[in-house]
Amino acid sequence: MKKILLPKELYEQLDLAREKEIEVVKNNKNSFTIRAKIPNKKEDAARVFLIPAAISTLLFFIVSQVMGLDQIYLSGTESISTGVLVIANAVALTSFITAFIKKRKELYHIMRPRVYWRTFLSVILSVFIIVTLALIALFWFLNQLFYGLSFDVLTSVLIFAIFSAILNYLLIFVVDTFSIQMMINMLIMVSVGGLVASMAANNNQYWWRKNFSLLGTSESNTSLQFNMTLVVSAALMIALFDYIFVLIREKLGKRLRFMVLQILLTLCAISIALVGLIPNNGTGLAHIMHDVAAQLIVFFMSLSILGIRWFLPDLDKNMYRISYALASLIALGYFLWHPLHYLSLTAFEILSFSLSFAWIMLLINNLVRILFNTRVIYLVDIAKEKDV
């Protein structure tokens, strides 16, 4: 086996105290990834997914027999879609949680144990919401194509087994490839996907005439989905900020400005969660608390954006320009809404949410680039024969 000589700092970063082997993965013509070699496991996603898929299929068959179904519809109350959403989804999520816990020691290489457990619930809820929304959308689309379609029990069980196997494989694959970038993608999918789905599926097509918060009230049939989207998005934001700032303090040292920025962003996320937890129903105390929480989002976000140069003085100057430009657009949107009434409240809320969310994504990507895209130049020489 050929030998590669590494500088001490790279050796320590790869955590090669126990594992002496590394693997070099070719990305393109002149780019490679070096990582510690993980011993081959007897179990992998290609085999592990078969067990929960078989269990969920057996449960689906038993339930169909107990209910005395001879024909099972593709969509509806007693249908394949309901079976996948309830049985297959529950079994797959249980399988995901089990695999995620088993892999925790490997994940400790990219996050500290306390950060792992703090992000645990956020990751589980995010995966559950993403999968559930995707399944609902998929079966809604299939129902539009094949309205009223039904199958015999054997064919239904076979179709269910295929959906269950795919679902379990995808969730096990998520565990095997889990990373900080995947958490960012989850935040985007949960936030954008959940809110868009709530708007699209809402029974009141004229909800936009009032305000954005109407989607989370009793006047909307998608209120639970809308409010859960806000809560889970907030939890994911808190988990990401916690993970990122722990690493930043380890890399750049403990600074007051880092702590203040993390507190502001965390308070902003908590305010978002409160907006989801306290629907704007009626005109009582809940209405006041909802409005206060919404105003706090604007307050904490404004402080974060306007103070970005002090909080993170080492960022690229374009980040500062973009931050101030976005803040100016939000201020302009407010001016066009309140004094001039050129924009409706809903239009201003969607505009400010879009710009604020874009800034958060931009900030997270910049922080991740600081943490993981550090460039260090080394002199290279060919190993001598005695070293090979």
On the CB side of 173, how many CA atoms lie within 13 Å of its CA? Answer: 8
Give the phi and the psi of residue 249 in degrees, each rounded to 5: -65, -35
CB-based contacts of 339, cutoff 8 Å, min separation 6: none
The pTM for the full model equals 0.73
User: Within 10 Å of residue 123's Cβ, how many Cβ atoms?
Assistant: 22
Cα(234)–Cα(28) distance, integer angstroms: 37
Domain ranges of the chain: 1-40, 43-178, 223-388
Cα(259)–Cα(320) distance, integer angstroms: 19
**How far is CA 83 from each of CA 124, 156, 161, 270, rounded to the nearest angstrom?**
21, 10, 10, 35
Contact by Cβ (8 Å): 381, 7: no
CB-based contacts of 135, cutoff 8 Å, min separation 6: 81, 84, 85, 89, 167
Mind listing the pLDDT tens digit of every residue in the chain (388 residues)?
667 777 776 776 666 655 567 777 666 666 677 766 655 544 455 567 888 999 999 999 999 999 888 889 988 888 999 999 999 999 999 999 998 888 887 776 666 777 777 778 878 887 888 888 788 888 888 888 888 888 999 999 999 999 999 999 988 888 877 777 777 888 888 888 888 878 877 777 777 777 777 888 888 887 888 888 888 888 888 888 888 888 788 777 888 898 999 999 999 999 999 988 888 876 678 888 888 888 898 889 989 999 999 998 888 888 899 999 998 998 898 888 877 888 888 888 888 888 888 999 899 888 888 777 666 677 776 666 555 5
In b/e form, how buried is each residue of 228-244, taking b as 16+ CB within 10 angstroms? bbbbbbbbbbbbbbbbb
Give the phi and the psi of residue 354 in degrees, each rounded to 5: -60, -45
> Coil, strand, or helix at residue 36?
strand
DSSP 322: H
